[in-house]
Every structure is written in C-alpha cells, then in structure tokens.
Amino acid sequence: MKAATDPRHKKREQKVKLLYTYSFSPKVIDPKIKGVVTKLDQIDASIATHARERPLNQINRIDLAILRLAVSELLFAGQIPQKVVIDEAVELAKTFGSDASPSFVNGVLGSLLSHEKPA
C-alpha cells in the first residue's frame, strides 16, 4: 500500500464506506459504486465460493464491503495489479474491520486467485 493519503487509497476507502452503507440501504446506489452493484450477483457468488466457512449473511458487513470492492477490481478491472488489490484490501480490513478481518480477507482473495483467472 502507498501512503494513507494516496488519492487511490482514499477513493477505495470511500467506496468501502458506500458499499457498507449500501448493505443497509440497497435502494440507495451512489454512482461511485454502481459498477460494483451492477455485478453484485457475480461478485457475491465468487465470495461465497471462496469463503466456504462463512455464508454471505454471516460475513461481517464491513468485511463483505471490502471483499466486494476487491473482488470487483480483481474480476473486472484488469489494469490494477492483483498484488495491489490484495494489499489494499488487507489494509482496509486493518483500518475498518476486526482483528480477524485482515487474515479473513487475505484468505478469501488468495483462494479466489488460486482458483480463478481474473481479467
């Protein structure tokens, strides 16, 4: 991860917050997360496949928001290096999640990368 003041990191933080809010109010879709929300079925299916020990409805909502953003970047934004996506997701999990969040997020994304060929 670059500095916490990096504009790309700040944008990811904002998107995670918006996705977290969306999990409580799905009728309100901010344009900044519309790309993620429109592919949510595919993203959630991928998360469910790679987080087998926890069904989606049992994943902490902030962890789910972080995973949704990271999976969308891995699967649909091919210009972002995979290592960057994972590093950023783990840093976001350290900032917003519980003590277990960084390893959980890292494990799910690592499983996804070892089983799928993201774009």
Q: Per residue in 78-116, pLDDT tens?
A: 788 999 999 999 999 999 999 999 999 999 999 999 886
Tokens of 11: 């944008």
Distance CA 88, CA 25 (A): 25
CATH architecture of the domain covering 7-115: Orthogonal Bundle (1.10)
Q: Domain extents for the chain?
A: 7-115
To 5 degrees, how large is the angle CA 84–CA 72–CA 56? 115
Sign for the pseudo-dihedral over CA of 87, 89, 92, 94: negative
Note whether 63 and 105 are within 8 A (CB).
Answer: yes
pLDDT reported for residue 3: 65
Please give the mean pLDDT across all residues of the chain.
92
Note whether 65 and 16 are within 8 A (CB).
Answer: yes
Nearest Cα to Cα of residue 81 among 60, 109, 108, 107: 109
Instruction: Report the percent of the chain where pLDDT is more than 90.
Output: 80
pLDDT reported for residue 28: 82
To 5 degrees, how large is the angle CA 105–CA 111–CA 113? 100
pLDDT reported for residue 77: 86
The yes-or-no verdict on residue 32 having pLDDT over 60 is yes
| Residue 82 burial class via C-beta count within 10 angstroms: exposed 0-12, middle 13-18, buried 19 and up | middle
Q: What is the DSSP letter of 54?
A: S
Distance CA 84, CA 63 (A): 18
